[in-house]
Structure 1
Amino acid sequence: MAFLEIRDLRKSFHSVDVLKGIDIAIEEGGFLVLVGPSGCGKSTLLNTIAGLESITSGEIHIAGRPVKDLHPSQRDIAMVFQSYALYPNMNVGENIAFGLEMRGVPKAEREAAVARVADMLQIQHLLKRRPGQLSGGQRQRVAMGRALVREPQVFLFDEPLSNLDAKLRVDMRTEIKKLHQSLGTTIVYVTHDQIEAMTLATQIAVLKDGILQQVGTPEQVYSNPANIFVADFMGSPTMNLIPASLQAVNGTASVQIGDFSLKIDQPSEALRAHNGRDIVFGVRPEDVTDVSSADRSARAIETVECGIDVVEPTGADKFVVTRMGAKEVTARVRPSERIAPGDKVPLAFNMDKVHFFDPQTEMRIS
Structure 2
Amino acid sequence: MAFLEIHNLRKSFGDVDVLKGINIAIEEGGFLVLVGPSGCGKSTLLNSIAGLETVSAGEIRIAGRPVNDLHPSERDIAMVFQSYALYPNMNVAENIAFGLEMRGVAKAERDAAVAKVADMLQIEPLLKRRPGQLSGGQRQRVAMGRALVRDPQVFLFDEPLSNLDAKLRVDMRTEIKKLHQALATTIVYVTHDQIEAMTLATQIAVLKDGILQQVGSPEEVYSNPANVFVADFMGSPTMNLMPASLHQANGATSVQIGAVSLPVSEPSEALRAHAGRDIVFGVRPEDVTDVSSADRSARFIETLECGIDVVEPTGADKFVVTRLGEKEVTARVRSSERIAPGDRVPLAFNMDKVHFFDPQTEMRIN
Sort the TM-score into its range (normalised by shorter chain): over 0.9
Give the aligned partner of residue 2 of structure 1.
Answer: 2
- SS of 1:222's equivalent in the other structure is helix
Give the aligned partner of residue 144 of structure 1.
Answer: 144
For residues 1-366 of structure 1, the aligned pairs below 5 Å read 1-249=1-249, 251-366=251-366
Number of residue pairs matched by the alignment: 366
Q: TM-score if structure 1 supplies the norm length?
A: 1.00
- SS of 1:318's equivalent in the other structure is strand
User: Could you give the per-residue CA deviations for residues 224-278 of structure 1, whole angstroms, max 9, x where no partner exists?
Assistant: 0000000000000000001101001354200111111100111111111111111
How far, CA to CA, are the matches of 1:77 and 1:250 in structure 2? 61
CA contact (8 A) 1:251 1:266 kept: no
Residue type at the aligned position of 1:235: G
How far, CA to CA, are the matches of 1:193 and 1:288 in structure 2? 24
How far, CA to CA, are the matches of 1:249 and 1:24 in structure 2? 43
CA contact (8 A) 1:252 1:266 kept: no
Structure 1 runs of 4+ with >3 Å offset: none
User: Could you give the per-residue CA deviations for residues 133-192 of structure 1, whole angstroms, max 9, x where no partner exists?
Assistant: 000000000000000000000000000000000000000000000000000000000000
CA contact (8 A) 1:252 1:267 kept: no
Residue type at the aligned position of 2:162: S
- Which structure 1 residue ranges, 5 or more long, are not aligned? none
How far, CA to CA, are the matches of 2:220 and 2:211 in structure 1? 19
Aligned-pair identity in percent equals 88
Q: TM-score if structure 2 supplies the norm length?
A: 1.00
Q: Displacement, 1:317?
A: 1.1
How far, CA to CA, are the matches of 1:319 and 1:86 in structure 2? 42
User: Could you give the per-residue CA deviations for residues 63-108 of structure 1, whole angstroms, max 9, x where no partner exists?
Assistant: 0000000000000000000000000000000000000000000000
- SS of 2:308's equivalent in the other structure is strand
- SS of 1:245's equivalent in the other structure is strand
- SS of 2:38's equivalent in the other structure is coil
Q: What RMSD in Å do the two structures reach over aligned CA positions?
A: 0.5
How far, CA to CA, are the matches of 2:256 and 2:13 in structure 1? 46
How far, CA to CA, are the matches of 2:120 and 2:171 in structure 1? 15
User: Could you give the per-residue CA deviations for residues 107-153 of structure 1, whole angstroms, max 9, x where no partner exists?
Assistant: 00000000000000000000000000000000000000000000000
**68-77 or 266-275, which deviates more:** 266-275
How far, CA to CA, are the matches of 1:342 and 1:9 in structure 2? 53
CA contact (8 A) 1:49 1:60 kept: yes
